[in-house]
Structure 1
Amino acid sequence: MTETAAQAEPYYLPAGNEIDIFERCHEQRLAVMLKGPTGCGKTRFVEHMAWRLKRPLITIACHDDLAASDLIGRFLIRHDGTQWQDGPLTRAAREGAICYLDEVVEARQDTVVILHALTDHRRILPIDKTGEIVQAAPGFQLVVSYNPGYQRMLKDLKPSTRQRFVAMDLDFPGAEQEMEIIRQESGTDHATAHALVTLAHRIRSLRDRGLAEVPSTRLLIATALLAKNGIPVKEACYAGLISPLSDDESLVSAMRDLVDATFL
């Protein structure tokens, strides 16, 4: 769990009207669901919107072992007795922060259910262990994200949960936008950014050949940073782009061939 209050504007290049939709949702106290592939900018978008709306941001990385008490809070044993400690979701509700649950489908269903009362007109969070009912402060907003590519029958949100959110579909940016993002984030030159985006588009076409995850904009930025800081560009691609994607020898070989063809 991380809590941030950005001082400098987190760089984000919009692909459509997602900023306007998010702002209207915040005004109307509507929860937001972000859907999109890994590394397409969902987290950066939330960071940018928190800065834009001047709200603190509490980020929670969801996983299989995430329990309701991890979000709500628990009693801690002290030398002089027990003391209640708010969890990140409770703190966000009290403080009027934006609470961002990253990859929410990874959390258990019984954990996700506790979000329901915060995502409708009630905007409350009942704390069973203390009997308190926390009324969400003005400015509180719940945002969740997930990667539809990872959906499975046992890893999906219930319809009763999904319909409590305004959903936005995010994807990798267009070629020109992705080039600009890489240049801004890494400081690399136009030619390198163009070549990396061209390479990424070629590799993304391998999804139908068994590649589970295609290269994200995040990986392209990491590769550009390596190349800009002295690593030969092909080696930077092998380490920053190819190796993280797969261990399958045939796929790795095919991707390395694409690197060699791109950077002659």
Structure 2
Amino acid sequence: MNINYQLPENIKQQLEETLEVRQDEEFQDLIRDGGYVPPHMDLLTDAITALSMGKNILLKGPTGAGKTKFAETLSQLFQQPMFSVNCSVDLDAESLLGFKTLAYEGEKQVIEFIPGPVTNAMKAGCFLYIDEVNMAKPETLPLINGVLDYRRTITNPFTNEMVTAKEGFGVIAAINEGYIGTVPLNEALKNRFIVIEVPYIEGEQLKQLIVSNTKLTDETLINLFVKLSGDLITAVFQGKLSEDAASIRALLDACDLSVLIPPKRAILRSIVDKLDEEREREFVKNLAETLF
């Protein structure tokens, strides 16, 4: 693949080599070993391109669509370790940057700083994954605005150390929109990311995912689960079900359980019983009855 961006030659070469991995044996092995299977190859190409150019990427899509698996696959393709932050309303500066604690040097008590995931990723020059970024309080994430823009620096408030990210550092974030407890990202934060919409995996890609990520081998059952998933996704788009009902993660759990228990009961435990509304529960049960 030829890269047309005005980049230094060494960066161009690195980007071309990274993109070429899509077609080589190593990439195919990664997919077979449970890596992310993109519904459209452009998703992977664009994510690799953005990260290779030093951009941050924001994976946006429904729950269970594979955003975390996508991030893990990118980490493996770049041969980069990845530090993770799981956002919540309790996320604070210590959760991001680290904290001070008492330690001993011999018999002498000292104050030691334990670095957090942001500091570790910057100093190691590897990836930082921020999951459910819109679950954090609006006042928390601006602490790392300098990490997310061209400066790639932060002043650690606990040590007063100026930390500058090593080459290779990159940020991947994920977002589920419209869920209880989430807040809209402010424009300053959103503008620091390239947004990549991650849709549900369907059809042959989903079949391949079931084969590589579950213990289910019965092709007839696998095809029925693919059909079930397609019907659930259609119902979500029609407003009949919440996104939770079409979670690919939940579907894979049902596939695994169906190896040892009847498929309808596997669907009940993995999908139906997670839904809050009785109307939705009955809808999914009726679909399962029809197919299985």
Alignment partner, residue 236 of structure 1: 266
**Is 1:70 the equivalent of 2:95?**
yes
Runs of 4+ in 1 over 4 A off after TM superposition: none
**Is 1:175 the equivalent of 2:203?**
yes
Alignment partner, residue 170 of structure 2: 141
TM-score (norm 1): 0.89
Checking the alignment, whether the CA contact within 8 Å between 1:68 and 1:110 is kept in structure 2 is no
Checking the alignment, whether the CA contact within 8 Å between 1:9 and 1:48 is kept in structure 2 is no
* 2:186 maps to amino acid: K
| In structure 1, C-alpha distance between the alignment counterparts of 2:290 and 2:44, rounded to whole Å | 38
Choose the corresponding residue for 2:119, options 77, 90, 115: 90
Shift, 1:31, TM fit:
0.7
Matches within 5 A, 1:247-258: 247-258=276-287
Shift, 1:93, TM fit:
0.4
Which secondary structure state, in structure 1, belongs to the residue aligned with residue 246 of structure 2? coil
Q: Deviations over 1:43-66 (max 9, x none)?
A: 001101111101001122111100
Shift, 1:211, TM fit:
3.4
* 2:116 maps to amino acid: G
* 2:204 maps to amino acid: E
Checking the alignment, whether the CA contact within 8 Å between 1:10 and 1:51 is kept in structure 2 is no
**Is 1:43 the equivalent of 2:68?**
yes
**Is 1:214 the equivalent of 2:242?**
no
Instruction: From the superposition, tell whether residues 107 and 14 of structure 1 become closer, same or farther in structure 2 (CA, over 3 Å).
Output: same
| In structure 1, C-alpha distance between the alignment counterparts of 2:272 and 2:180, rounded to whole Å | 24
Checking the alignment, whether the CA contact within 8 Å between 1:222 and 1:240 is kept in structure 2 is yes
Alignment partner, residue 17 of structure 2: none
Checking the alignment, whether the CA contact within 8 Å between 1:124 and 1:136 is kept in structure 2 is yes
Shift, 1:110, TM fit:
1.9
Alignment partner, residue 14 of structure 1: 38
Instruction: From the superposition, tell whether residues 181 and 149 of structure 1 become closer, same or farther in structure 2 (CA, over 3 Å).
Output: farther
TM-score (norm 2): 0.81
Q: Deviations over 1:231-255 (max 9, x none)?
A: 11111111112112x1333322222
| In structure 2, C-alpha distance between the alignment counterparts of 1:167 and 1:103, rounded to whole Å | 14
Instruction: From the superposition, tell whether residues 21 and 220 of structure 1 become closer, same or farther in structure 2 (CA, over 3 Å).
Output: same
Shift, 1:112, TM fit:
0.7
Percent identity over paired residues: 25
Indicate the RMSD between aligned Cα atoms, in angstroms. Answer: 2.0
Alignment partner, residue 3 of structure 1: none
After TM superposition, the structure 1 stretch with the greater mean CA deviation from structure 2, 172-181 or 246-255, is 246-255
Q: Deviations over 1:111-150 (max 9, x none)?
A: 2102211122111121122111111011110111101232
* 2:149 maps to amino acid: D
| Structure 1 gap ranges (5+) | 1-5
Choose the corresponding residue for 1:81, options 95, 106, 110: 110
* 1:71 maps to amino acid: L
How many residues align? The count is 254
Instruction: From the superposition, tell whether residues 20 and 202 of structure 1 become closer, same or farther in structure 2 (CA, over 3 Å).
Output: closer
* 1:199 maps to amino acid: L
Which secondary structure state, in structure 1, belongs to the residue aligned with residue 258 of structure 2? helix
Shift, 1:74, TM fit:
1.6
| In structure 2, C-alpha distance between the alignment counterparts of 1:119 and 1:262, rounded to whole Å | 47
| In structure 2, C-alpha distance between the alignment counterparts of 1:239 and 1:61, rounded to whole Å | 26
| Structure 2 gap ranges (5+) | 1-29
Which secondary structure state, in structure 2, belongs to the residue aligned with residue 44 of structure 1? helix
| In structure 2, C-alpha distance between the alignment counterparts of 1:254 and 1:95, rounded to whole Å | 49
